[in-house]
Chain A
Amino acid sequence: MAFVVGINLAVAFRMLGMVPGVATGPLSRFYTLHWYGALVIFLSGIALLIAYPAKALTNPVFYLKFSALSLGLVLAYRVQRILVIQAVPESERRLKWIAAASIPLWIITITSGRFLAYTHSVLLASRFY
């Protein structure tokens, strides 16, 4: 998660003009590691969900995290496509908006992820039997 969020934040900082000298096109090469990280998030998330399905599925915070994470990854995919395919100055403004939107999404993902452990009201599915 740290690599996924970290790479997205680094790209967002560049798009928001914090390091204007960095070439945008080559930044897309960091996305290979990003998507491996996303795969690890997906697999470990599935494992946790299988282990404690009731704990996650009965907690609204889980859906908040899932939504923010999914949207964050969709935006990451769009940024990567723009960087790779349309690395032209006209894309800069669009990228800036996407980057600005992605930062709060990653903060929500992290925060809701941490609050998940403290906000569940059900631990085991056996409670419903």
Chain B
Amino acid sequence: MVEILSNFAQLSGIYGIMNSPWGWPTAESIHFLGLSLLIGTVGVFDLRMIGIGNGIAYADLHRLVPIGVTGFFLNVITGTMFLVTAPDQYLFNPAFQTKLLFILIAGINMLWFYASCLAQVRHTDATMSVSHRAKIIGIISLLSWSIIIVCGRLITYFRPPYHWCFWC
């Protein structure tokens, strides 16, 4: 796996870009900007669902979500660049593994929202509360993204081989 990712980085030119003096910090900046776009749209919508910003129509705020999706794709692209450039530092890193786990949880939570209560939330009056299920989804989403941010920062402090995943 490590070899496949390393070869991809070398052949695609990503390795060269990321090892230039400006490559890594530029990718990190874009990664954080993508995260901010996500928090500023999906996070704000989650906050609205749990009761903050009473009076703002849910449907209107939900129109910001495509900007958050754009931010997420920026994160996926830059995240992939980090991973393929130094795969051994990420694949065996417990902070990275935890981050991926919570990205998966956030993704499943999002699917749960779209499958079960999007229509109900969009049609809820701006002065009314959404259902308990929607609130729980909002809380799970906010917690997941907060943990993802924290794990992202912790990656650099849990680099292998000094720190190793517990099943390795």
B63 to A19, Cβ gap below 8 A? yes
Considering the chains assembled together, what is the distance between the CA atoms of A19 and B33 in angstroms? 20
B36, B43, B55 — most chain A CB neighbours (10 Å): B36
A10 to B41, Cβ gap below 8 A? yes
B40 to A114, Cβ gap below 8 A? no
Interface residues of B in 23-69 (CB under 8 A from A): 24-26, 28-29, 32-33, 35-41, 43-44, 47, 52-57, 59-61, 63-64, 67
A33 to B57, Cβ gap below 8 A? no
Report A-chain residues with C-beta under 8 Å of the C-beta of B43: 2-3, 6
Q: Is A94 an interface residue (CB 8 A)?
A: no
With an 8 Å Cβ cutoff, the count of chain A residues facing the other chain is 31
Report B-chain residues with C-beta under 8 Å of the C-beta of A117: 25
Q: Is A70 an interface residue (CB 8 A)?
A: no
Interface residues of A in 1-56 (CB under 8 A from B): 1-3, 5-10, 13, 18-19, 21-23, 25-27, 29-30, 32-33
Q: Is B5 an interface residue (CB 8 A)?
A: no
Report A-chain residues with C-beta under 8 Å of the C-beta of B149: 2
A23 to B126, Cβ gap below 8 A? yes
B44 to A26, Cβ gap below 8 A? no
Q: Is A124 an interface residue (CB 8 A)?
A: no
Considering the chains assembled together, what is the distance between the CA atoms of A20 and B33 in angstroms? 23
Report A-chain residues with C-beta under 8 Å of the C-beta of B55: 23, 25-26
Partner of B25, one of A19, A25, A27, A114: A114
Q: Which residues of B contact A (CB under 8 A)?
A: 21, 24-26, 28-29, 32-33, 35-41, 43-44, 47, 52-57, 59-61, 63-64, 67, 126, 149
Given contacts A3-B43, A5-B39, A13-B40, 9 further A-B contacts (CB under 8 A): A1-B36, A9-B37, A10-B44, A21-B60, A21-B63, A22-B57, A26-B55, A111-B29, A117-B25
